Amino acid sequence: MEPALNHEDELNSNEAYSKIIKGAGVITIAMFASRILGFVRDASIAMVLGAGFYSDAFFAAFRIPDLFRRFFSDGALSISFIPVFTEIMVKDGQDEAFRMARCAIGWIMLPSFVILALIGIVVIFKWHDFDLKVTLSLIMLPYVISLLLMAVFMGVLNSMGHFAAPAMAPIFFNLVMIFVVLVVSPCFDMPVLPMAFGVLAGGLLQAAIQVPFLLKRGFKIPGKLVFYNNATVRAFKTMLPAMLGMGAYQINLLFATFMASLLADGSISYLYYADRLVQFPLALFTVSLSTSLLPELTRLFKSKQRVDASELFIKGIRMAIFMTIPSMAGLIVLREPIAALLFHQGAFEICDVQRTGDVLLFLSLGIWAFSGTRLFLPLFYSLSNFRLPLKAAVASILLNIIVSFFLMKTMGISGLALSISIASILNCMLLFYGVTVIIFHFEWKEIIGTACRSLLLSAMMFILVQQISLFFCPPEIYSVKLSMFLGVFVSVIAGGIFYILGAYFCKMPELLMVLKIVKKQG
């Protein structure tokens, strides 16, 4: 029989939930700034390179280090690192936890120097034998080292309740890239080359910006490096299954990028830009919520407060539903106006906007599944359960490969985007089944109520925003930036106000909790 929640349990759950929402709010603000700058960066690249051979070469080369960025910075290393680090903090104290972190840094730095030396030798003797994609890949590959360090730094800071610096780090990467693309690249005959070096410089700054915050919390850098620690071994052993479990979407996207290289020029770029737009609401809402959720879930489970952890997780699911569904509806209805506003300039033509919008439509259909997967994983990893996420990820990857071959023949690049969404839905459903087994108090009634109200309000918002965008953002003004900005801005604000007012009159507890925290902070 399920244990009943008493008043003290409910208070603990609400306090933890309030803490999670505050942490997610900090991350959301930082990520919003980062994503806006990221769009400026992508718009700058689109203006300089357009959608063709050079842009495809750059994005194909950048896809691999970017894959590692999402694995290590957003996922695998921090996901496997945080539960172990938090457990040591709870049981053995801060000094022992820092010793484990320094061991992880030692493991990263030692092989990194060897890899850099080998890359240097290859570049010196074989530079002229490489095609452009290989050359760009070799230049950007050391970027992965800074990502590894940043992931460890992020794990330490997040475990200690500090979320701002890791969330702000990508801002500095984007600033460096914008400067390189707009100021440095035009000075070169082949502007794509300095862009690759800009990735390196931005990555180093991204890691370095977190160091002062670590020092402030007593973490000495360089300090005494340790090359063996049982806890570090445990964290790195779980890293590979965590990479696969966390990275199913990224692996599917990498496969789609490879398949897109067999299609017409520009296909890789359309997929890249569509993915960037999909990641915007995911980063603002789901990733921020998931990032702040993992340390707190781990602490509750390690402290044997399983009921509180279950309650906290259920509230997290409802908050994710509340924020994700309207985001998906808005992105679908405004897919072309947003693509035109951000990318239609210079070498990026109107036909490129339309094709990016087509890809974005089919990729957006899976936003709810991407969000659910990203939210479910911290629950499994906080319990050191890597098996089910790994099985779900493998099933998703295999389904994506099979479906891609069929849909690519009939739908082209849009078919590859739809394949990713279908595979992600399978991944989400398998994880959801596992969640219902783990959770003590799976409150179907409240979750279904939140989902139904969000769907109804989002459908009404969709119709409203569609009519507004048709009036303010017709295709014939796609090239008029000011008009497009005003049109998209009015559409987004109107849709947001409608959804918030609807949620308020429906007395949705998710909105009321956010308003309560904002009022308390103010």
Average pLDDT over residues 486-509: 91
Cβ burial of 89 (10 Å; 0-12, 13-18, 19+) is buried
Summarised one tens digit per residue, pLDDT across range 40-50 is 888 888 888 87
Average pLDDT over residues 36-60: 82
What share of the chain in percent tops pLDDT 70? 83
For every residue of 402-413, DSSP letters joined together read HHHHHHHHHHTH
* pLDDT interval class at 2 (50, 70, 90): very low
Q: Give the integer Cα–Cα distance in Å for 492 and 380.
A: 35
Greater model confidence, 60 or 458: 458
Q: Can you give the pLDDT at residue 222?
A: 58
Q: Can you give the pLDDT at residue 123?
A: 60
Asked whether the predicted pLDDT for residue 384 surpasses 50, the reply is yes
Q: Give the integer Cα–Cα distance in Å for 406 and 399.
A: 11
Asked whether the predicted pLDDT for residue 521 surpasses 70, the reply is no
Q: Give the integer Cα–Cα distance in Å for 64 and 67.
A: 5
Asked whether the predicted pLDDT for residue 319 surpasses 90, the reply is no
Q: Give the integer Cα–Cα distance in Å for 46 and 272.
A: 11
Greater model confidence, 461 or 130: 461
What share of the chain in percent tops pLDDT 90? 24
User: Which residue, among 105, 352, 61, 345, has the nearest Cα to 198 in the 3D structure?
Assistant: 61
User: CA 304 → CA 181, 233, 301, distances in Å?
Assistant: 51, 24, 5
Summarised one tens digit per residue, pLDDT across range 216-245 is 888 876 555 556 667 667 767 777 777 777
Q: Give the integer Cα–Cα distance in Å for 137 and 60.
A: 8
Q: Can you give the pLDDT at residue 3?
A: 45
- The winner for highest mean pLDDT among 19-23, 84-88, 369-373 is 369-373
Q: Can you give the pLDDT at residue 407?
A: 94
Q: Can you give the pLDDT at residue 21?
A: 61
Q: Give the integer Cα–Cα distance in Å for 262 and 455.
A: 38
Asked whether the predicted pLDDT for residue 519 surpasses 80, the reply is no
Asked whether the predicted pLDDT for residue 460 surpasses 80, the reply is yes
Q: Cis peptide leading into 166, omega within 30 of 0?
A: no
Greater model confidence, 79 or 154: 154
Q: Can you give the pLDDT at residue 415?
A: 94
User: CA 13 → CA 7, 247, 296, distances in Å?
Assistant: 10, 30, 11
Q: Give the integer Cα–Cα distance in Å for 79 and 246.
A: 9
Asked whether the predicted pLDDT for residue 129 surpasses 90, the reply is no
Average pLDDT over residues 133-144: 81
User: CA 301 → CA 108, 269, 378, distances in Å?
Assistant: 29, 43, 12
Asked whether the predicted pLDDT for residue 267 surpasses 90, the reply is no
Asked whether the predicted pLDDT for residue 405 surpasses 70, the reply is yes
User: CA 142 → CA 139, 180, 201, distances in Å?
Assistant: 7, 18, 10
Q: Where are the alpha helices (DSSP H) in 473-508?
A: 481-505
User: Which residue, among 449, 517, 464, 457, has the nearest Cα to 494 in the 3D structure?
Assistant: 464
Q: Can you give the pLDDT at residue 316?
A: 80
Asked whether the predicted pLDDT for residue 417 surpasses 90, the reply is yes
Q: HSE on the CB side for 212, CA within 13 Å?
A: 6
pTM for this model (two decimals) = 0.74
Q: Give the integer Cα–Cα distance in Å for 161 and 291.
A: 11
Q: Can you give the pLDDT at residue 442?
A: 63
User: Which residue, among 424, 331, 306, 444, has the nearest Cα to 375 in the 3D structure?
Assistant: 424
Lowest mean pLDDT among 21-35, 257-271, 478-492: 21-35
Summarised one tens digit per residue, pLDDT across range 4-30 is 445 454 445 555 556 666 666 677 777
Asked whether the predicted pLDDT for residue 148 surpasses 50, the reply is yes
Q: Give the integer Cα–Cα distance in Å for 371 and 374.
A: 5
Q: Give the integer Cα–Cα distance in Å for 393 and 250.
A: 11
Average pLDDT score, the chain: 81
Q: Can you give the pLDDT at residue 150?
A: 83
Q: Give the helix/strand (H/E) hosting 103.
A: helix 94-126
Q: Can you give the pLDDT at residue 465?
A: 94
User: CA 78 → CA 189, 301, 309, 343, 516, distances in Å?
Assistant: 40, 18, 20, 33, 31
The 10 Å CB-count burial string (b at 16+, else e) for 34-60 is bbebbbbbbbbbbbbbbbeebbbbbbb
